[in-house]
Structure 1
């Protein structure tokens, strides 16, 4: 039944009461000026509103009802719309889009139902193509590329993570090439250097204070001299060729260097004792 001026209905049980209103389908109702109701168990009851789809029944509380002026609602088999488009603020402006939400706070606002995750999927039909989100321009992109994985590109070269903690349950490579990462079994791989004000090694398997134990035996100086002459490096310390080929473990090397410093300290103490003993002998001979 069309009772509004310049209104019309098509279908069964439809009502069109608003000025310039239109209702089509089954039990569709268009009550206000410039409204359109299309579908089953749907109602447009705000000026310039459009509703398309179907409610869950003809009961007033179960109809798909658009009561927001200057907006579009689309949904099926529910009193809540799946898609909502809000009105704009006027000339040269645009509205907002809500999915699962009739009060979108941004251009696109996705809200899940209770006990449902909120998300969206970008899936190219051909897995050889990429899926991406472009932000502002083609210099700021978050993408998933074949044979690369997740990629983030920033126009100014900076990516800021404003969070107390960043947790990654995976290996991290910075500025690293495939050749650099070959046979790499480290949680963090960096090519090009690290600038920091502090490094803390929390767990160490071995330290070398046992060098100062009473039963620790220093290598004889003559043996040490012969070893250096034959090998070109201190005992326990890797050779130059070894380090150039394989690198070195900083924790292990720091410990070994400490060990050598402690051994050197013991050699100096022994040398000082010898000097003191010789000085006593010299003093004795001088006063005879």
Structure 2
């Protein structure tokens, strides 16, 4: 009887050993039957120093520092402002987007930074239509700006109303400003071109051109580049009209000078003839004496 019990115990021990994993490595395994994990609807939890380090939920989501991972990979360091990295499955294609592939969140379940996020969502998105967006759909005029921050200061800000502000210099090879109307109204026949005397008077009194802001106003309020360029174009077009008018006057004066010169030459010729006749008359009178 003792021999039978020993044999059974040895068999059970051998069977149990055969089903265990060796911490120095294993061979001859079959992934269908040999694995580390659970076979019921319970998560697999790995701990160190009795503190949970990794959790695999029954749905396959993996959490590192997250006891309830809501993405394929959810990494959280809860003692630093709940910053986390979330990797999810992209469930839709095209311009409408889908759930996030990569999501960076700050103490929120809604990602602040997303790749292939919903088109109506917010954040950073790269879609299958080769579109690349940094977006925020918030329509509030006070909140929802996209800010670029360096040295703890907002250096570039894009507001929900489309306005943008840059704290520094802007450099580009080409800038295109689309603004209507232009200044071609100056060339309309009904346009009341200011008289140069009026312009001169305004400059003497105000120290700047009419319809152009003064230097003090520009320093205080800044300059709208598009509107300013149109105003400058208006002044250039007015100057062009002044030049055309001046050119006409110069040509007219040149013709008058030519006419006067021709008349002067004719008068000189007549004067020479009269002088010659006077000499001839004097000679005749002298001969009669």
TM-score by length of 2: 0.51
Q: Is the 8 A contact 1:171 1:187 kept in 2?
A: no
Query: How far, CA to CA, are the matches of 1:191 and 1:242 in structure 2?
Result: 19
Shift of the 197–281 alpha-carbon distance from structure 1 to 2, 3 Å rule, reads same
Distance 1:4 1:211 in 2: 109
Select which of 125, 132, 145 maps to 2:83.
Answer: 132
- The 10-residue stretch of structure 1 (169-178 or 185-194) with the greater mean CA deviation from structure 2: 169-178
Check the 8 A contact 1:34/1:48 in 2, yes or no. no
Shift of 1:189: 1.9
SS in 1 for 2:135: coil
C-alpha displacement of 1:198: 2.6
Match of residue 196 from structure 2? 221
2:214 alignment counterpart? 239
User: What CA distance in whole angstroms lies between the structure 2 residues aligned with 1:273 and 1:150?
Assistant: 67
Q: 1:172 to 1:179 in 2, by over 3 A?
A: closer
How many residues are paired up?
195
**CA contact 1:172–1:189 (8 Å) conserved in 2:** no
State the distance in 2 between where 1:206 and 1:218 align: 18
> In structure 1, what is the equivalent of residue 36 of structure 2?
72
| In 2, Cα distance between equivalents of 1:234 and 1:4 | 108
* Conserved 8 A contact 1:175-1:191: no
The corresponding residue for 2:275 is none
Provide the alpha-carbon RMSD of the alignment. 4.7
TM-score, normalization by structure 1: 0.52
Q: What is the rounded CA distance, in whole Å, between the counterparts of 1:68 and 1:255 in structure 2?
A: 78
Counterpart CA distance in 2 for 1:252 and 1:119 is 52
Q: Could you tell me which residue of structure 2 aligns to residue 255 of structure 1?
A: 230
Choose 1 or 2 for highest CA Rg. Answer: 2
The corresponding residue for 1:20 is: 17
Q: Give unmatched runs, 5+ long, in structure 2.
A: 1-7, 47-53, 65-69, 86-103, 114-124, 137-143, 264-289
Corresponding residue to 2:135 among 163, 168, 180: 168
SS in 2 for 1:167: strand
Distance (whole Å) between structure 1 residues aligned to residue 203 and residue 37 of structure 2? 85
**Pair 1:212–1:35, CA change in 2 (3 A):** same
**Structural mapping, 1:47-58, within 5 Å:** none
Task: Specify the SS of the correspondent of 1:189.
Answer: strand
